[in-house]
Structure 1
Amino acid sequence: MSDRIRFFLNLTADRYLSHYQGHVKNVSVIAEDGRRIEFPANTLRPFVTKSGVQGRFELLIDDNNRLQRLHRLSH
């Protein structure tokens, strides 16, 4: 059984650049249910725009807390 974790992210292009360059390996956010979650920064690459990464996302993890999928939710 997988767990769905939803969160908002507003990461500027400059902030994401430090993740992209490898200075920071993980992103840490507070989920809508109050949990703090951490996941690899490179997972966000498909969502990067000129202004960074913004939106509401859903992270799916398996029973071993391994990332299965990340996708942006519609507004």
Structure 2
Amino acid sequence: MPALTFELHLNTQQFLRYYQGQASQVVVICSNGQRLRLPAANLRSFLRQDGIHGWFRIHFDDNHKLIRLERLSAP
């Protein structure tokens, strides 16, 4: 199962754009330099009072369908 690792730092104001309908995707640069675009809805479970912060790993199948997104560490 392929996986990519990335660091993400979004404050609550930045993520609020998703709830307001202004943004539907988040673009990150993975640790291997690859650009990854993922639906913001997949990050909702990681939202805390100060936003979304930490290292994450995304697992996907051979067709690039998301299987699992996990937080590896938080600051």
TM-score, L = length of structure 1: 0.93
User: What does residue 44 of structure 1 align with?
Assistant: 43
Deviation at 1:19, TM superposition (A): 1.4
The answer to whether the aligner puts 1:22 opposite 2:42 as a matched pair is no
Matches within 5 A, 1:1-75: 2-74=1-73
Q: Any stretches of 5+ residues in structure 1 without a counterpart?
A: none
**Which amino acid counterpart does residue 67 of structure 1 have in structure 2?**
L
Deviation at 1:23, TM superposition (A): 1.0
Cα RMSD for the two superposed structures: 1.0
Cα distance in 1 for residues equivalent to 2:19 and 2:34: 25
**Between 49-58 and 20-29, the greater mean CA deviation after superposition:** 20-29
Deviations 1:19-49 (A, max 9, x none): 1222101000000000000010010011001
**What is the percent sequence identity of the aligned residues?**
39
TM-score, L = length of structure 2: 0.93
Cα distance in 2 for residues equivalent to 1:6 and 1:65: 15
**Which amino acid counterpart does residue 15 of structure 1 have in structure 2?**
Q
Q: Any stretches of 5+ residues in structure 2 without a counterpart?
A: none
Q: How many residues align?
A: 74
Structure 1 consecutive aligned stretches of length 4 or more whose deviation exceeds 4 Å: none
